[in-house]
């Protein structure tokens, strides 16, 4: 008797192969053509960070810290305020603080104090508003660690500090890896991008898949400062100009999908640097510099 071959498994394998072929373009299509700038996502709240439970978990270094109505902390005589302990999420990029300091020329040193001990991690030195307002603090340096936020007034006789809340942390650019600095999304000079001030911003974009025959993608800058960027081992650098946009170009490997751009944007001291068009298609040839104007 002649046996009939079992075709079930080969047919099943063929169907699985066809399914995988269909899924791969769908995954690529799901990735954006350029890295999106948001929307920002709020992360887990800090326990007692909103003072609803009073001063539970809070502490002080100095003589005076009082809970007022609101609720609101008033710390006087240069008292350092130490917030409740929390673990900084791995994807946290900014930490909102709601605070204010009456009087002019005030400075606050903001740092993260590891619960396990060791030196404080400097985050930023703020010039706060006199009114109690929200201000974002870079938090990437402490991500993944259990810390307490330390709000320390730079020495000044009788300086008072008002604190309303700490947190919750925010992922400003979902899917991006921010290793240093504070990402601030804004629109300026007709383009939406990242406003970099006071300190460098070092980050890697979320994965994106350039469209079709895109040979180059760019990073544009304007203001004062420099940007260095790389994509799969190809690097470029550009210096910003005050009156126009400058775009560096990065070659895209043929057929590349799920690429990321790593960049460091460094503003000039005391200046602002705007970074926009990150990953947008760029010309195949660099633009020619404008000819110098002839003097009459």
pLDDT of residue 179: 96
69-95 residue pLDDT tens: 989 999 998 899 999 999 999 999 999
Alpha carbon 240 to its chain centroid, in Å, reads 20
pLDDT cut 90: percent of the chain above it: 75
Q: What is the pTM of this model?
A: 0.84
If residue 9 lies in a helix (H) or strand (E), which one and from where to where?
Answer: helix 8-30
- Nearest to residue 264, comparing CAs of 226, 232, 233, 231? 226
Domains of the chain, start order: 30-39+173-281 (2.60.120.260), 46-167 (2.60.120.430)
Q: How many CA atoms lie within 13 A of 67 on its CB side?
A: 11
108-117 residue pLDDT tens: 999 999 999 9
Q: How far apart are CA 123 and CA 117, in angstroms?
A: 17
């Amino acid at each position: 008797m002649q046996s009939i071959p079992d075709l079930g498994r080969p047919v099943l394998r063929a169907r699985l192969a066809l399914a995988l072929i269909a899924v791969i373009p769908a995954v690529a299509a799901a990735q954006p053509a350029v890295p999106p700038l948001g929307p920002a996502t709020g992360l887990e709240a800090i326990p007692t960070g909103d003072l609803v439970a009073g001063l539970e978990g809070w502490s002080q270094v100095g003589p005076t810290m009082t809970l007022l109505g609101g609720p609101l902390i008033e710390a006087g005589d240069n008292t350092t305020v130490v917030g409740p302990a929390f673990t900084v999420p791995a994807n946290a990029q900014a930490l909102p603080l709601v605070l204010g300091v009456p009087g002019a020329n005030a400075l606050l040193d903001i740092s993260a104090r590891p619960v396990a001990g060791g030196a404080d991690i400097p985050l930023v030195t703020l010039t706060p508003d006199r009114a109690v307002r929200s201000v974002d603090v870079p938090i990437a340096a402490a991500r993944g660690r259990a810390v307490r936020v330390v709000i320390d007034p730079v020495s000044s006789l009788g300086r008072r500090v008002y604190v309303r809340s700490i947190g919750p942390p925010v992922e400003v650019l979902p899917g991006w890896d921010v290793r240093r600095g504070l990402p601030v999304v804004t629109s300026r000079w007709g383009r939406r991008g990242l406003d970099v001030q006071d300190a460098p911003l070092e980050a890697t974009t979320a994965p994106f898949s350039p469209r079709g025959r895109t040979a180059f993608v760019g990073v544009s800058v304007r203001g004062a400062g420099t940007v260095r960027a790389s994509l799969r081992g190809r690097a470029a650098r550009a210096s910003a100009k005050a009156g126009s946009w400058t775009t560096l170009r990065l070659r895209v490997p043929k057929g590349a999908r799920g690429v990321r751009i790593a960049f460091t944007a460094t503003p000039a001291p005391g200046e602002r640097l705007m970074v926009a068009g990150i990953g947008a298609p760029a010309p195949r040839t660099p633009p020619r510099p404008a000819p110098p104007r002839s003097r009459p």
